[in-house]
Structure 1
Amino acid sequence: MRRLMPAAALTLSLSFAPAFAQTVWEMPTEYPATAIPGEGVASFARLVNERAGGRLTITPSFDAAKGIKSAGMIAAVQEGKVAAGDAFAGALGSVHSLFGLSSLPFLATSIDDAKRLTDLAKPTYAKVFAGYGQRILYTTPWPASGIWSKEVVTSAKDLAGLSIRTYDATSTTVMTNAGAKAVNLSFADAMPKVKDGSVTAVLSSGDGGAGRNLWQFLPHFSEVNYALPISLATVGLAAYEALPADLRQVVDEAAAETERRQWSAIRTRLDENYARMRANGVTIHADLPADLRQRLAVAGKAAVDEWRIKAGPEGAAILDAFAKR
């Protein structure tokens, strides 16, 4: 019996020992699972979870369930509150002006333009993120931003009647200069104000708006093609570098596959969104009056010029390279 006791004790202790070390990364986004950034987070998590053999698990969350909005994502990852996250790049402009690039008005007006601008800027984004102890996982494009409104916007004069939610400092300046009453709000903060009527218009794509059921309150969508902005998914360098080499490869391959998926999905997304919007009673206004487009274009150019100064030589170099079509 004495000779059996140590073996039995060893067997018992091993039965409670894990077969491998397990790492869990929380990965939030402020957008719903049905919005294209939400789909990206879900896709990335699924790929990693399927391929990591249980040694690394990505736990996604949506709708700012963790209380982290895009503008606070860099700090949340840097401070280790979460390992990774997805954030709207325009909102990150409050942390570093270069992140406002993709939401500059009327700069990238097609998917191909948006991809080229993102590719030109990505090395600079990576450099900035490294300064905050983070690594880019993948980028996600948004469909073109338009104006959701309670009342139809049929002329430049109608802008004066809008209390409009904007999504970064630049769009706030543009809409203010165009005559609207603009306020920079995250989607999570904007929706209660849309519901109570204090915000009567929202600058957003049909994607984010469709995901948030804006059609319940704002039944008009003006296709101004303001910008095709991006979201950026990152992971803390410490969390990434703590992984063994084979798991880093799993993460890298899942990130690359997610990025390809996101830029492919965007090409059919507009038609899908418009179909859903029309099915829910939204009137889409594509043929906008010249005075409205002109008012927005003038305000937009001033904002781009202002951003060039704020972003400094690195930002100017990206704009100049993009201009060489």
Structure 2
Amino acid sequence: MNLRKTFGAAIAGALMLSTSAMAETQWIMASGYPEDSFFTQNIRMFIDEVEAASDGELKIDLRANGELIKLDAIRRSVQSGQIHLGEIRFGVYGNESPMYTLDSLPNVAGDYDSAWQLMEAQKPWFDEAFGEGGMKVLSYAPWPGQGFYTKFEVTDGAQFEDVKLRIYSPATKRMGDLLGFEATILPFAEVPQAFSTGLIDALFTSGQTGTDIQAWDYASHFTYTGSMHNKNGIIVNERALSRLDPALQEAIIAAGEKATERAWEMSKKATDSKRQELSDAGMTVTDASPELQAKLSEIGSVMIEEWKASASEAEVAALDTYLATQQ
């Protein structure tokens, strides 16, 4: 059996159903995260609300954990109409525009309230950018806050000099370099081996990642900084959306707004639960000192100026709108 042809036929068949005059419309949605992730759990609730509002008119088949389409390819698949809905991580597209990495700058929006205000300031830009591509952002979801996993107590950050740190993006590498680390970008899957071979001595990542790799096997302290709340989003193909009854379109948009509000609360709970899990495993879990937070804020200010140098007028205007809410 030719699996590629079988897969293609299945997708084509589902899309034909969605555009026909049948009583029930079938949509396909892809996500890159597992079922036990709060991102996926939130999407399941979004789908339940949409299907209930449709009175059986619309059914959404969610394929999570990259089962159907890998995370990096989901936006293109929604844009092309291969699927109708998808969950993306905005930071994946940082090479296309600085706007996608603004929420990656340390302490620019280091707590959940600030992250919400930054999202609101970015929305008009995302609406236009995705609209030009025939898509619409329905919902936003913040990643849990970040922190340092180390083999020593962290006070003011002076201990970071020449420590080998694993980070996960160009923005966090720049942050690590400015803190004095020897920062290295490594894929998540390579972290345990990198600790074992001495390639890295510390991590900067979320509580979720720390529990996933059982960081207590390699580090004794987790110092929570918050620092940044990168965002995921639910996007929809606008042509598919426009084919639905106007009342159902409004219900989908409303369900997306509810999913955004819910995601903020779910992310907060995930942060707290993962911190507790790290503590239960024997790690010393603390909040960053005022001195360390001040240092991160200084670095964030430097990185904002670097960010603005490559940003468009519209992107800088969005940043200025956000910064005005912080005064």
Q: Establish whether TM, by shorter chain, passes 0.5.
A: yes
Superposed, which structure 2 residues align to 1:10-29 within 5 Å? Answer: 20-29=23-32
Contact 1:142 1:207 in 2 (8 A): no
For the 8 Å contact 1:164–1:199, the answer to whether it is kept is: yes
Is 1:96 the equivalent of 2:97? Answer: yes
> Cα offset for 1:258?
1.2
Contact 2:28 2:84 in 1 (8 A): yes
Query: Once the two structures are superposed, what CA deviation does each residue of 1:42-88 show, in whole Å capped at 9, x if it has no partner?
Result: 2212322343344322233443334523x443323223343222223
In the alignment, which residue of structure 1 is the partner of 2:283?
282
Match of 2:323 in 1: 323
Quote how far apart the aligned CAs of 1:121 are: 1.4
Partner Cα separation in structure 2 for residue 149 and residue 62 of structure 1:
33
* Runs of at least 5 residues in structure 1 that lack an aligned partner in the other structure: 1-17
Once residues 289 and 263 of structure 1 are traced to their aligned partners in structure 2, the CA distance between those partners, rounded to angstroms, is 25
Q: Which amino acid aligns with 1:57?
A: K
In the alignment, which of 184, 188, 191 is matched to residue 189 of structure 2? 191
The verdict on how the C-alpha distance between 1:42 and 1:162 changes in structure 2, with shifts beyond 3 A counting, is farther
Counterparts of 1:61 and 1:218 in 2: how far apart (Å)?
35
- Measure the CA separation in 2 of the matches of 1:271 and 1:201: 21
Deviation at 1:164?
0.7
The one-letter code sitting in structure 2 at the alignment partner of 1:90 is G
Give runs of aligned pairs for residues 118-133 of structure 1, distance below 5 A: 118-133=119-134
Cα distance in 2 for residues equivalent to 1:308 and 1:60: 38
The equivalent of 2:110 in structure 1 is: 109
The answer on whether the counterparts of 2:130 and 2:137 sit within 8 Å (CA) in structure 1 is: yes
Compared with structure 1, are the counterparts of its residues 121 and 237 closer, same or farther at alpha carbon in structure 2 (3 Å cutoff)? same
Structure 2: gaps (5+ residues): 1-20
Q: CA-atom RMSD, angstroms?
A: 3.0
The equivalent of 1:37 in structure 2 is: 39
Counterparts of residues 1-325 of structure 1 (less than 5 Å): 20-29=23-32, 31-69=33-71, 71-149=72-150, 155-158=157-160, 160-166=162-168, 168-184=169-185, 189-195=187-193, 197=195, 198=199, 200-210=201-211, 213-215=214-216, 217-288=218-289, 290=291, 293=293, 296-324=296-324, 325=327
Residue 139 and residue 177 in structure 1: after superposition, are their counterparts in 2 closer, same or farther (change >3 A)?
same
- 1:234, CA displacement in angstroms? 1.0
Structure 2 CA distance, aligned partners of 1:287 and 1:271? 15
1:183 is displaced (CA, Å) by 4.2
8 Å Cα contact 1:32/1:211 also seen in 2: no
Tell me how far apart the structure 2 counterparts of residues 215 and 41 of structure 1 sit (CA, whole Å): 31
* Number of equivalenced pairs: 301
Decide whether the 8 Å contact of 2:109 with 2:229 is kept in 1: yes
Alignment check: 8 A CA contact 2:28 2:63 kept: no
Give the distance between the partners of 1:49 and 1:323, measured in 2 at CA: 38
1:252-310 C-alpha deviation (Å, 9 max, x unpaired): 222122122122334444333322221233321324484x5565444332221111122
2: CA distance, partners of 1:215 / 1:88: 27
- Provide the secondary structure at the position in 2 that maps to 1:223: strand
Residue identity in the other structure for 1:23? Q
TM-score, normalised via structure 1 length: 0.79
Superposed CA deviations along residues 163-193 of structure 1, whole A, max 9, x for unmatched, are 4122x332222223333343446xxx41244
State the SS of the aligned residue for 1:82: coil
SS of the residue corresponding to residue 183 of structure 2 reads strand
**Per-residue CA distance 1:140-176 (angstroms, 9 max, x = gap):** 122322123466656434352224122x332222223
Cα shift at 1:226: 1.7
Query: Which one-letter code corresponds to 1:226 in the other structure?
Result: S
Partners in 2 of 1:289 and 1:156 — Cα distance? 13
Determine the C-alpha separation between the residues in 2 that align with 1:66 and 1:159. 43
